[in-house]
């Protein structure tokens, strides 16, 4: 049984890849109430793929327990065509998670997805595959390229679609700016580009998730005309727009590594107390001079912060660079960056307090906030390189 709620897939595909004989292409067909389309679609896809994919491919229908029994029709087709497989989900729902669940069960080196309602013309698969063969990490069917478009969309629908794209560009420019049709749900991607990534999609837009979390360098795009639906109906409601917005925000926070920054802040905060405690101890019981005590207290606090950052804040990175030698280098860099932060601190305090006349304590708070960012950024880029 698949878990409900938020989907977390760690180390995607890795284990399965070792045990199974892999094939060239796995194409996922997510369906919900597509019983009238599924047979025709599968026949056309098979005709198309038989001409292009040299070795082997599989078609995986992922159906969310459709009330119109799409899963049953698909199961019948799987008896007729050995390359057709069916996943029937009973608790988990949604187009994006259906696609990932399909990929999880897939054996293909290349993973693809196509709508189950014939709105994505299957003959485009040929050109997508060509892009992959040329070396693309991802091949995307796009409505916004030469030879692409929509058939008979109303002004309102075009406006909504463009609006969603603009919003995406605003929130995730570094992701959405790379592709002409980020809303596309018709593409192929190399398994390698997704290996070891944790996916956490929401709603409809699986491509955005793949582009934001995957390791995508070479992008191939192919124009296509989004066909009109002949039978069945679209499942898009206002809820999908809300989910899209939440999905964008989630990916924004992910790309900014907000959760990591919070861990960094907490680790740093623990250092403040260590610093105070050590200083108190040295002054009261060891009877050391102030400067000497302060230096020792600072170094112990730095060591404490490093410990938590290495074990917790940047755990995913340090676990890939094990060994005492690597750790020592990280500690050294961490020290140097903290030192640069300290120098910046003094500089900032002087500017804020002496030059701008801001209250000492407020000036200190501002300086600490800026230095936290400084330290975080340089440690992220230099000590725990990402
Ligand atoms: N398993 C599963 N679960 N499949 C679903 C679900 C779900 O909750 N919701 C929709 N599907 C299936 C549909 O049965 C169909 O095969 C496909 O996903 C697309 O759903 P539609 O409801 O037909 O979407 P659309 O035509 O409005 O939107 C499509 O248009 C985009 C272009 O703007 C989406 O497929 C996008 O991926 C596509 O690029
Ligand atoms: Mn559709």
Concatenated DSSP letters of 112-134: EE--TTS-S-TTHHHHHHHHHHH
How crowded is residue 171: how many other Cβ atoms within 10 Å of its Cβ? 17
30 lines ligand 1 (CB under 6 A): yes
Residues flanking ion ligand 2, Cβ below 5 Å: 117, 119
Q: Identify the nearest ligand to the CA of 201 by its number.
A: 1
Q: What is the distance of C-alpha 249 from the center of its chain?
A: 12
Q: What is the C-alpha to C-alpha distance for residues 141 and 130, in angstroms, rounded to an integer?
A: 12
Q: From the CA of 252, how far away is ligand 2's center (Å)?
A: 27
For 171-211, the DSSP string reads H-HHHHTT-S-TT---EEEEGGGGTTPPB---TT-HHHHHH
Whether 313 is in the pocket of ligand 1, judged by its Cβ within 6 Å, is no
Element (H, E) at 58: strand 57-63
Q: CA–CA distance from 76 to each of 62, 103, 117, 342, 348 (Å)?
A: 14, 21, 18, 69, 71
Q: What is the pLDDT of residues 93-126, one digit of tens each?
A: 899 989 998 998 888 899 999 999 999 999 999 9
Q: Does residue 116's CB lie within 6 angstroms of at least one atom of ligand 1?
A: yes
Mean pLDDT, range 203-226, rounded to an integer: 95
Pocket flag, ligand 1, residue 234 (CB < 6 Å): yes
Residue 158 predicted with pLDDT over 50: yes
- Centre of ligand 1 to C-alpha 98, Å, is 11
pLDDT the model gives residue 11: 37
pTM of the model: 0.82
pLDDT(14) > 60: no
Note whether ipTM > 0.95 here.
yes
Partners of residue 27 on adjacent β-strands: 59, 112
Task: Decide if 128 contacts 187 (C-beta within 8 A).
Answer: yes
pLDDT at 2: 36
The CA 276 to ligand 1 mean position distance, Å, reads: 58
Q: What percent of the chain has pLDDT over 90?
A: 72
Q: pLDDT at position 238, please?
A: 87
Give the three-state DSSP class for 101: helix
pLDDT bin (cut points 50, 70, 90) of residue 17 is very low
Residue 69 has pLDDT above 70, yes or no: yes
Lowest mean pLDDT among 43-47, 275-279, 357-361: 357-361
Report the nearest-CA residue for atom 24 of ligand 1.
234
Would you state the pLDDT for residue 232?
Answer: 86
């Amino acid at each position: 049984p698949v878990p409900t709620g938020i989907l977390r897939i760690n180390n995607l595909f890795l284990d399965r890849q070792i045990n199974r004989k892999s094939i060239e292409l796995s194409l996922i067909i997510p369906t919900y109430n597509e019983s009238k389309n599924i047979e025709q679609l599968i026949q056309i896809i098979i005709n198309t793929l038989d001409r292009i994919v040299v070795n082997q491919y599989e078609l995986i229908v992922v159906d969310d327990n459709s009330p119109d029994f799409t899963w049953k029709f698909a199961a019948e087709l799987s008896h007729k065509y050995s390359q057709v497989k069916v996943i029937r989900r009973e608790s988990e729902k949604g187009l994006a998670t259906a696609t990932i669940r399909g990929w999880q069960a897939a054996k293909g080196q290349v993973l693809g997805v196509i709508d189950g309602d014939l709105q994505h013309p299957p003959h485009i698969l040929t050109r997508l595959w060509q892009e992959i063969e040329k070396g693309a990490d991802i091949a995307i069917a796009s409505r916004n390229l030469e030879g692409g478009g929509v058939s008979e969309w109303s002004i309102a629908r075009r406006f909504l679609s463009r609006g969603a794209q603009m919003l995406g560009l605003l929130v995730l420019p570094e992701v959405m700016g790379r592709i002409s049709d980020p809303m596309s749900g018709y593409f192929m991607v190399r398994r390698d580009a997704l290996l070891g990534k944790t996916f956490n999609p929401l709603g409809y837009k699986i491509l955005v998730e793949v582009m934001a979390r995957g390791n995508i360098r070479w992008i191939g795009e192919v124009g296509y005309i989004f066909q009109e639906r002949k039978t069945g109906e679209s499942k898009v409601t206002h809820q999908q727009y809300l989910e899209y917005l939440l999905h964008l925000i989630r990916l924004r926070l992910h790309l900014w590594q907000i959760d990591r920054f919070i861990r960094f802040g907490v680790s740093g905060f623990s250092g403040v107390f260590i610093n105070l405690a050590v200083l108190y101890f040295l002054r009261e019981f060891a009877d050391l001079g102030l400067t000497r005590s302060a230096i020792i207290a600072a170094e112990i606090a730095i060591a404490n912060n490093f410990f938590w950052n290495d074990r917790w804040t940047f755990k995913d990175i340090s676990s890939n660079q094990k060994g005492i030698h690597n750790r020592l280098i990280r500690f050294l860099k961490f020290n140097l960056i903290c030192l640069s932060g300290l120098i910046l601190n003094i500089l900032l305090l002087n500017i804020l307090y002496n030059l701008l006349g801001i209250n000492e304590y407020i000036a200190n708070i501002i300086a600490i906030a800026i230095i936290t960012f400084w330290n975080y950024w340089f440690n992220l880029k230099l000590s725990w390189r990402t």
